[in-house]
Structure 1
Amino acid sequence: MLQIAVCDDNIDELSNMVQLIDLYRTSKHLSCEYAVFSNGFELVSVLEKGKQFDIYFLDIIMPGLTGIDVGKEIRTFDKTAPILFFTSSPEFALESYSVKAINYVLKPISKEKLFFTLDDLLEQIKVKEEEDALIVKSNEGVQKILISNLSFVEVIRRNVLYHLHSGKVVECTELFSSVCDTLLKYGCFIKPHRSYLVNMQYVDTIENHQITLQTLSTIPIAQGKAREIKQQYLRYQMEEE
């Protein structure tokens, strides 16, 4: 079930977006839900309580918190969710890419314009999910884990625990060395300790003896490895820019 957040302070524009999304999901037989917000503060408040969405539709010009401000808040905990900006002015186009927006669409939003944008976006999501995912055999059966949802992995004896950003833990019995070989190929993972792999997109702070994640989990750093880990994280951040 795809979760979409729509934020616009103009009630008429918000209503138009909702009608078009309803029309799109009916015509495409798409399984999705959406939540509407009349200002940036409402959306940020919901996000701070732990709610996440798969796609964000944001108006840029809003009082208080602009769409750019909201986009920056989203990026503090979610580096990959698609953000689409809708606005009546093209002057913020360049700034919108500072939060890695996937698209920038000028109002008024027509059926053709929205349908084309969503078709393109959903195709990108489909490709990403096919490429950036693990299929694991857990205690609950075969499961698909999106790399973008995986915050860290640890091994306890012969059990490998996949910690998702949502807080869910998927437990499997497999070789940790094989897991390391697979995940380290993605370029967003580091191995600070022989028993841990960390997804750098969820790193909050790196100290000499531990890494603190945005989920507040703490990961130990092996003795003498802090300098290397910090350099790897710095390279990752520079590549992301």
Structure 2
Amino acid sequence: MFQIAVCDDNIDELSNMVQLINLYRTSKNFSCEYAVFPNGLDLVSALEKGKQFDLYCLDIIMPGFTGIDVAKEIRMFNKTAPILFFTSSSEFALESYCVKAINYILKPISKEKLFFTFDQLLEQIKLEKDEDAVIVKSNEGIQKIVISNLAFAEVIGRNVLYHLRSGKVIECTEAFSAVCDNLMKYGCFIKPHRSFLVNMQYVDIIKNHEIILQTLSSIPIAQGKAKEMKQQYLSYQMEGGT
């Protein structure tokens, strides 16, 4: 069930949003639930108690604790959930991008504006869900890692490091054996060393003692495993891997 949080200090605006969401889910046969919050502190309190939402609809201009402030708190708990801002002024557009908001809509919120925005948003979410991905609990919060963006993973002590093609590293505390079992299901990973898992989409050269990736990272190959790695990579390429 798709979960939506709606936060606005204006009761009339909050009521209007609820009516529009109800109208949307009825006319689009969209299965969802929503929770309303008259201020940002109540929403943050719900998050601190473990509540999570698939979409956050926030008014920007609220006294004391603004929508931007709320969005920053949301990002402490969830790095990827869509945040949609509603505002009476476009001056906050730049700030909305700083918290990775997907969009902002100028008030008053009409049926046409909300329906158009929700249609675009849900189509994007559907496309993202169609991509192979894993959800991890990192030191920064819950994050989604698209498999095609993951170059390799390694374990150092009790920490697993996910190395993305962008160069970003996501660090998690979890069992590497479980990580390997999860990622190996996707068919594009090889394990050249007990501490490394490599996405074959990023392999450039396989030598006798190391794998050089397109990202220029060097991954060690355990003694005696070079032949096996070359065979697995060849099979992957012949099966249509890219």
TM-score, normalised via structure 1 length: 0.62
- Cα deviations across residues 58-81 of structure 1 (Å, max 9, x unaligned)? 000011211001111111121110
CA contact (8 A) 2:3 2:32 kept: yes
Displaced runs of 4 or more, over 2 A:
149-152, 182-190, 192-201, 217-220
How far off is 1:191 after superposition? 1.7
Residue 79 of structure 2 contacts residue 142 of structure 2 at CA under 8 Å; is this kept in 1?
no
Identity of aligned residues (%): 66
- Report the alpha carbon displacement of residue 102 of structure 1 after superposing the two structures with TM: 0.2
Within a 5 Å distance, the mapping from 1:95-114 to structure 2 comes to 95-114=95-114
Residue 183 of structure 1 deviates from its aligned partner by 7.4
CA distance in 2, matches of 1:116, 1:123: 11
Q: In the alignment, does 2:9 pair up with 1:16?
A: no
- 1:199/1:86 CA distance change after superposition, 3 Å: farther
Q: In structure 2, the residue corresponding to 1:105 is in which secondary structure?
A: strand
TM-superposed CA distance for 1:189, in Å, is 6.7
Cα 1:218–1:128 change in 2 (3 A) is closer
SS of the residue corresponding to residue 77 of structure 2 reads: coil
Q: Could you tell me which amino acid in structure 2 is paired with residue 73 of structure 1?
A: E
Contact 1:40 1:70 in 2 (8 A): yes
Distance 1:131 1:107, change over 3 A: same
Instruction: Summarize deviations over 1:29-67 as a string: whole Å, max 9, x none.
Output: 111000000000000000011111000000000112110
SS in 2 for 1:96: helix
Alignment correspondent of 1:150:
136
User: Does the CA-based 8 Å contact 2:152-2:163 persist in structure 1?
Assistant: yes
Distance 2:142 2:94 in 1: 30
For residue 132 of structure 1, report the CA deviation from its aligned partner. Answer: 3.5
Counterpart AA for 2:68: I
Q: Choose which of 174, 177, 191 in structure 1 pairs with 2:154.
A: 191
- Pair 1:185–1:194, CA change in 2 (3 A): farther
- Paired AA for residue 79 in structure 2: K
Instruction: Work out the CA distance in 1 between the residues paired with 2:129 and 2:46.
Output: 25
Q: Which has the larger radius of gyration?
A: 2
State the match for 2:205 in structure 1: none
Match for residue 129 of structure 1?
129
Q: Label 1:46 to 1:195 Cα distance change in 2 as closer, same or farther (>3 A).
A: closer
Determine the C-alpha separation between the residues in 2 that align with 1:78 and 1:123.
Answer: 20
Q: Helix, strand or coil: the match of 1:18? A: helix
- Give the aligned length: 169
- SS state of the match for residue 76, structure 1? helix
What aligned pairs does 1:71-90 form with structure 2 within 5 A after superposition?
Answer: 71-90=71-90
Contact 1:8-1:58 within 8 A present in 2 as well: yes
Gap change, CA 1:165 and 1:92, over 3 Å in 2: closer
Aligned residue in 1 for 2:202: none
Query: Helix, strand or coil: the match of 2:123?
Result: helix
CA–CA distance in structure 2, aligned partners of residues 111 and 185 of structure 1: 37
CA contact (8 A) 1:10 1:38 kept: yes
Question: Are the aligned partners of 2:2 and 2:33 in contact in 1 as well (CA < 8 Å)?
Answer: yes
CA spacing shift, 1:121–1:105, aligned 2, 3 Å: same
**How far has the Cα of 1:185 moved from its partner?**
4.3
Pick closer, same or farther for the CA change 1:185–1:126 going to 2, 3 Å.
closer
In the alignment, residue 150 of structure 1 is paired with which amino acid? Answer: V
Displacement of 1:184 in angstroms is 6.4
* Aligned partner letter, 2:150: G
CA distance in 2, matches of 1:189, 1:64: 44
Within 5 Å, give how 1:192-207 maps onto structure 2: 192-193=155-156, 197-198=160-161
1:65-99 deviation digits (Å, cap 9, x = unpaired): 11001111111121110000000011111111000
Contact 2:150 2:162 in 1 (8 A): no
5+ unaligned residues in a row in structure 2: which ranges? 177-242
Query: What is the letter of the counterpart of residue 186 of structure 1?
Result: N
